[in-house]
Amino acid sequence: MRSLGLDVGSKTIGRALGEASGLIATAYDVWARKGHVQDAREIVRQARAEGVEAIVVGLPLELDGRVGRRARAVHRFVEALEAEMQTQGVSVGIHLWDERFSTAAAERTLLEADVSRARRKQKIDAVAAQVILQGWIDAQRNKSEVTP
């Protein structure tokens, strides 16, 4: 199943794509935010172009698991995304995924790959989206392995 992972920040949205086999997520790009409506329109455009069946949005919960200011902002973005999908007649499942520590994991990955500081800054959000999406993909695969 082709999937799209999103790391929604205040200034950018990191994007990652899951391959059609549903096994591996790959960092795609970083979208400069233009407002919920325009951002949602771009995500729907990409979902259509890539044949996406699932959109996984990182939910930045507080360390104790509470929904804070950043998570509420992501919920508002998801509402705009759902409205845009309805307007365009697109039916793609949207899944929220706990993204705590995804940016830290992305930073470690880029440091281990010896990526320069300037390049890390350009790629960090896309790699964080990859971490989010890969976590969701792995959880889906583990569910199907356990379910008889």
Separation in Å, CA 110 to CA 27, 47, 128: 12, 26, 10
C-alpha closest to that of 107 among 89, 121, 93: 121
What's the total number of domains in the chain?
1
Give me the pLDDT at residue 56, please.
97
Which CATH number characterizes residue 65's domain?
3.30.420.140
Reading the chain (148 residues) residue by residue, the pLDDT tens digits are 899 999 999 999 999 999 888 889 999 999 999 999 999 999 999 999 999 999 999 999 888 889 899 999 999 999 999 999 999 999 999 999 988 766 666 667 766 766 666 665 667 789 899 999 999 999 988 776 654 5
Structural domain boundaries, residue 18: 3-146
Q: What is the pTM of this model?
A: 0.85
